Amino acid sequence: MAFNLTVDGTAYSVDVPADMPLLWVLRDELGLTGTKYGCGISACGACTVQIDGQAVRSCVLPISDLSGEVTTIEGLGTPENLATIQQSWIDHQVAQCGYCQPGQIMQAAAFLAENPFPTNQDIDTAMAGNLCRCGTYPRIRAAIKDAARQMRGG
């Protein structure tokens, strides 16, 4: 079946089965490999993208259920034009293997857009679905707090 979708501001049309998850449309059909496969059952958060600003696990969202504009890590910012949260990730040298970080960043960015004054507890709750096997959590926490401060303008 043919489906139209908008990803990072670009319109695409793909011909795939209706139940194909958005993740595999992004990665294998569109070649947008920034969004990662980790578990396939929304248990690790590596595949997190934003749809109209909401954080969504793309590995369990059938393409036929997609409604809204998709933003991936590649659309959030680029090496030449970083989003505030990405700059904060770099300032705090968060990543180790880095594989989970696109998902962590997309989750954190959506969370901060809704909650500009997060408590530690808020951050823990919002980020608990995103697994990092390298254990970068202490720096993720610091980067989110710092990004929140900057996005509030102080």
Partner 1 sequence: MGRAGKIARRTFLIGSAAIAGGVAFGVYKLNQTPENPLVAGDGQSILNPYILIDQTGITIITPRAEMGQGVHTSLAAMVAEELDVRWQDIRVEHGPPGAAYANDVLAKSALLIKDFEPRSNLLLKVEDNLAKAPKVFGMQLTGGSSTTADGYHKMRLAGATARQVLIEAAAKRWGGDPAELQTHDGVVISSSGKTATYTDLAAEAALIEPPQGIPLKPKSEWRYLGTSMPRVDMVSKSTGTAQYGIDTRLDGMLFASIKTNPRLGGPMISFDATAAKSQPGVRKIVDLGNGVAVIATNTWLAMQALELIDFTWGDAPYPAESAEINATIAKAFEARANTTLRNDGDPDEVLSNANPDEIITAEYSAAYLAHAAMEPLNATALFEGDKLTIWSGNQAPVYTRQKVAKAVDLPRDQVTLITPLIGGSFGRRLEFDYSIIAARIAREMPGTAIKTTWSREQDMTHDFYRPAAIARFRGLMSDTGPIVFDGKLATQSAVQSFAGRLAGLPVFGPDRVLVEGMYDQPYGIANYRVAGHIADLDLPVGFWRSVGNSHNGFFHECFMDELATANDLDPLAMRLRLMQGVHAPSAKVLERVAAMAGWTGKSGKNIGRGVAFTYSWGTPTAQIVEVRDTPNGIRITKVWAAVDVGVALDPRNIQAQVMSGIIYGLSAAMMGEITFSDGQVEQTNFPDYDALRMDNSPDIAVEVLENKDRITGIGEPGVPPAMPALANALYDLTGKRARSLPLNQHFDFA
Provide the binding-site residues for partner 1, judged by CB under 8 A.
16-17, 20-21, 23-24, 27-29, 31, 33-41, 43-44, 46, 72-74, 76-79, 82, 86, 89-90, 93-102, 105, 123-125, 127-141
CB of 57 to partner 1, least distance (A): 12
CB of 7 to partner 1, least distance (A): 12
For partner 1, which is the closer residue by CB, 31 or 154? 31
103 burial type by CB count under 10 A (0-12 exposed, 13-18 middle, 19+ buried):
buried
For partner 1, which is the closer residue by CB, 90 or 114? 90
- Which helix (H) or strand (E) segment holds residue 56: the answer is strand 54-57
Cα 27 to Cα 24, 38, 145: the distances in Å are: 5, 13, 31
CB of 136 to partner 1, least distance (A): 7
Q: Which residues contact 122 (CB under 8 A, 6 or more apart)?
A: 111, 115
Residue 84, strand partner residues? none
For partner 1, which is the closer residue by CB, 113 or 129? 129
How far is CA 87 from its chain centroid?
15
- Cα torsion at 58, 69, 119, 101 (round to 10°)? 50
For partner 1, which is the closer residue by CB, 82 or 113? 82
CB of 127 to partner 1, least distance (A): 4
CB of 6 to partner 1, least distance (A): 18
How far is CA 120 from its chain centroid?
20
For partner 1, which is the closer residue by CB, 66 or 130? 130
Looking at this protein, which amino acid is placed at residue 132? C
